[in-house]
Chain A
């Protein structure tokens, strides 16, 4: 088998997990694996040996549409004009 085959062994997965019944699922870290099944078992074996964990998700990084650096910069700054969305100071 050609050596060039090896590079596709390393696919990027993002790992999410849930620590308790009341907790939301939360991003933890990323890892490299050749497929979903190995990504899941590596996530469990490498990173979840001690902590409580009730569920794990692995998602191929390519399938996540995250904000770009520029989008984060432009879209996440709140203008100081959202008072009407809050009830603070509302006279009932």
Chain B
């Protein structure tokens, strides 16, 4: 359907200036770029990095999530978790397709993405490197982790890259179900026994640094590199990391406090004059270690993916053209 041969990534490092200017005019005019349109290498590379990480994170999140199905307390909750796991796998597949079309000029395929993940070249989201301990975590992941994902993804609903923008419309609709499902778990625990409230608070305390880290560092000074300026320049997203984090705090901190919960940071408050939430920075060195697959559950989660990949190898072989002779 798409034709890449015409415009491969073979242009020089600065690309063709005329093509670049035309491309930027289209971006500025709010037009959508399609997979076979000419695009600067910088745009293509930034999209591949963003979308492959987003796609693989959906899958890496679904793998540990499914472990909750047998442990969920009621049939309704089990079905809710199952539906969520299927959604995340669907999101992963949609996004991988978008990334794969972008990678075509480099001759890379899904196989390369899976291998890059297992070798550590393709990163997945910091939150999916963390352990889950209690049922409150299942609620917390739905309520606040998916809540954070909704904040960052709705910021890209008008992204300049058409295929990503269209995938996000579907994904964001479904993420709302997950956040509501998580909220329902949280509400049940918040209205429950003393023990239930205690595991809820303990869970929030544990997830707090990961939630702050979710949006990435405010600037490249913190971790050495940041793609956020490129993302904004090319209208892939609208807001920078800190603006997204502030939007998250704005939406969720009042809800956290209204449930009688606290966050493990006594300095947290809203500065009326500055119109922003003040909070203590999480340990960004720890963030760097986590996304380099040195987090508490990185190895186990990668192993889950590897096992799934290896166990299903025979299916890929049995249904390949060579095997069925078509």
Q: Which residues of A contact B (CB under 8 A)?
A: 1-2, 5-10, 12, 14, 29-32, 34-35, 38, 42, 45-47, 49-50, 61-62, 64, 66, 68-70, 72
Partner of A69, one of B34, B86, B94, B167: B34
A5 near B323: Cβ-Cβ < 8 Å: yes
- The residue of chain B having its C-beta at the shortest distance from the C-beta of A34 within the complex is B319
- A34 vs B315: C-alpha distance when bound (angstroms): 10
A5 near B97: Cβ-Cβ < 8 Å: no
B90 interface contact, C-beta 8 A: yes
B188 interface contact, C-beta 8 A: no
Q: When A9-B320, A61-B1, A66-B1 are in contact, do A29 and B167 touch as well, CB less than 8 Å? A: yes
Q: How far is the CB of A48 from chain B (nearest CB, A)?
A: 9
Q: Which secondary structure characterizes the binding site on chain B? A: helix
B110 near A32: Cβ-Cβ < 8 Å: yes
Q: When A31-B97, A69-B36, A69-B38 are in contact, do A6 and B167 touch as well, CB less than 8 Å? A: no
Size range of the chain B interface in the assembly = 35 or more
A68 near B36: Cβ-Cβ < 8 Å: yes
- A23 vs B320: C-alpha distance when bound (angstroms): 36
B109 near A10: Cβ-Cβ < 8 Å: yes
Q: Point out the residues of chain B lying under 8 angstroms from A50, CB to CB.
A: 174
Q: How far is the CB of A52 from chain B (nearest CB, A)?
A: 14
- The residue of chain A having its C-beta at the shortest distance from the C-beta of B326 within the complex is A35
- Residue pairs across A and B with Cβ atoms less than 8 A apart, 17 shown, are A1-B317, A5-B316, A5-B317, A5-B320, A6-B111, A6-B316, A9-B319, A32-B97, A34-B316, A34-B321, A35-B324, A38-B319, A46-B89, A47-B90, A49-B86, A49-B87, A62-B1
